[in-house]
Amino acid sequence: MSDRLFTPEELEAEEIKETTIKNGLRAEYVKQEKIIDNLLSSIEKYMIYYGRHSNVFSDLMQLKSQLNANKKALNEFLDVIC
């Protein structure tokens, strides 16, 4: 291990590099979150239109619950890495 100290320029360059990586990761996962939101919206519209009489209503309720759990986990993951 070295006792060498980093210069302010080196620290700033590393910070910029780290910020760029974090922004790239956030952008990638924000796309996934938008897809989940679109799917949840479509499921909600289907459930409203066809109501409880639909043969897949209970399956959609379960899927909606799983998607909300996935979205929550994704947001928690983003909070940790960014």
What does pLDDT average to over the chain?
A: 89
Q: How far is CA 74 from CA 3, 7, 54, 79, in A?
A: 39, 36, 30, 9
pLDDT of residue 68: 97
User: Domain residues of the chain, as ranges?
Assistant: 8-81
pLDDT of residue 3: 65
pLDDT of residue 8: 84
- Can you tell me the distance from the alpha carbon of 63 to that of 43, in angstroms, rounded to the nearest whole number? 9
